[in-house]
Amino acid sequence: MDGPCVVHMDFRPGNILVLNESKISGLIDFESAHGGPSEIDFTKIKQYVWDVYPETKEEFILGYKSIRTLPNL
């Protein structure tokens, strides 16, 4: 665990902006955001996005790591 931060809490297809069918360009809808461990953000995206669209995981991880350290998942 890397300590508390702001977590989006709603990574799902409707809130992830995608270009060219695979490149993530941004996130919207931060109404569920709050403080907590960064690992919690990965539970919903795994279930609702990566399990359905596994080809999106690598691009998401690269983008996440460009902003902050990837937690120990």
Provide the number of structural domains found in the chain: 1
Mean pLDDT of 5-34: 78
**Does 73 reside within a domain?**
no
**Does 8 reside within a domain?**
yes
**Does 39 reside within a domain?**
yes
**Does 60 reside within a domain?**
yes
Q: What is the sign of the dihedral through the CA atoms of 13, 14, 18 and 20?
A: positive
CA separation for the pair 15, 70 (Å, rounded): 20
**Does 28 reside within a domain?**
yes
CA separation for the pair 31, 36 (Å, rounded): 15
Confidence of residue 51 (pLDDT cuts 50, 70, 90): very high
Greater confidence (51 vs 67) lies with 51
The verdict on pTM exceeding 0.75 is no
**Does 70 reside within a domain?**
no
